[in-house]
Copies of this chain bind each other. A is one copy, B any other.
Amino acid sequence: MKFGTDIATLCRENGLRLTRPRRIIMKVLSETTGHPDVVELHRQVNAIDPGISIATVYRTVSLLQDKGLLERHTFNDGRARYEAADHGHHDHLINVETGDVIEFHSDEIERLQEEIARKHGYSIVSHRLEIYVKPLPRKRSGRTGQT
């Protein structure tokens, strides 16, 4: 479960009605490990209840983002992608060959960021670090020429 509390409590705490669409959308969000875009989210939600419209999905993710329960990412593909926002801050390694997203965290980088912001006369509101990577070529002891 990625949200801090259960869905009913989350809604109550945020003054939101616990509706069927919301329950399903939040359930899908809380169970996914990825960073789905709205179309993907809608597809998964519709697999549970085909009656839920994509407009509701858009409205729900905006709402959850406003309440600070969801993070919105825009990787370089343009579409907005979402992720439940409780499990501590992290950054992303993105495998450009497969599109896989790996989460990581570096206190040392965070510290350097603070330092840079301060030097420029700012304090950090948030940040985002994405490292686009490809697999390292596998090292072998013997000699084989091929790539």
Q: Which residues of A contact B (CB under 8 A)?
A: 72, 74-76, 78, 80, 93, 95-96, 102, 104, 106, 108-109, 112-113, 116-118, 120-136
Integer count of this chain's copies in the complex = 2
CA distance A116 to B91 in the complex (A): 11
From B75, B123, B130, give the contact of A134 (CB < 8 A): B123
From B75, B112, B125, give the contact of A133 (CB < 8 A): B125
Instruction: Write the nearest CB–CB distance from A93 to chain B, whole angstroms.
Output: 6
Instruction: Write the nearest CB–CB distance from A106 to chain B, whole angstroms.
Output: 6
Q: Are A123 and B133 in contact (CB under 8 A)?
A: yes
Instruction: Write the nearest CB–CB distance from A90 to chain B, whole angstroms.
Output: 12
Can you give 23 contacting A-B residue pairs, CB < 8 Å? A76-B128, A93-B116, A93-B117, A93-B120, A93-B122, A96-B125, A106-B112, A117-B133, A122-B134, A122-B136, A123-B133, A123-B134, A123-B135, A123-B136, A124-B131, A124-B132, A125-B132, A125-B134, A127-B131, A128-B129, A128-B132, A129-B129, A129-B130
